[in-house]
Amino acid sequence: MRLILGSGSPRRLELLAQLGLVPDAVRAPDIDETPAAGERPRDYCARMAGEKAAALTVAGGDVLLCADTTVALGRRILGKPAGPDEARAFLAALSGRRHRVHTAVAVRTAARSWRRVVDSVVRMKQLSPREIDGYIATGDWDGKAGGYGIQGPAGAFVPWIGGSFSAIVGLPLAETAGLLAAAGVPVWGGR
């Protein structure tokens, strides 16, 4: 079995390593990530993971792993900010509130596919303009859904989560391990 990571995310690569797995190849799918009109965040996230998995070729003996993480403030999807001003606006909107983080995982072989969506809740403390500006200056927001990464400096803004920390980072480890095992990929160095 060859494990293919269908993601360019360095965080997902690091999380896979926590399961003792190093992918045989990394391929980032090129898909349109525009939400459909009226699409709910959880449905959008599941669709994105599925479309990423469908966009890549899977040969016999390959196991493809794709994922998507979506930050939702109510029904509003907060994607990857286009620049520092949008990241600042996202953080201001999240400040002092709870929001949901949905992470969908899609595993596919040539013959079968598996999917799972993991939902978590994050409470962000009330942020001052100085804290927001300081975080924006780090550049850590770049390429991250919702404009923040809980595993970095923004972790200081999060006093409480409900759900899976690794899912908030980008790959729910327990669920991913189960899906990969179902596809024939043992975790923790069993390959």
Known catalytic residues are 68
Residue 95 host element (H or E)? none
Contact 100, 43 (CB under 8 A): no
3-state secondary structure 116-150: EEEEEEEECCCCCHHHHHHHHHHCCCCCCHHHCCC
Residue 99 is given by DSSP the state E
Rounded to whole angstroms, the Cα distance separating 101 from 165 reads 10
Q: What CA–CA distances, in Å, run from 168 to 18, 62, 89, 175?
A: 15, 27, 20, 13
Residues 127, 186 contacting (CB under 8 angstroms): no
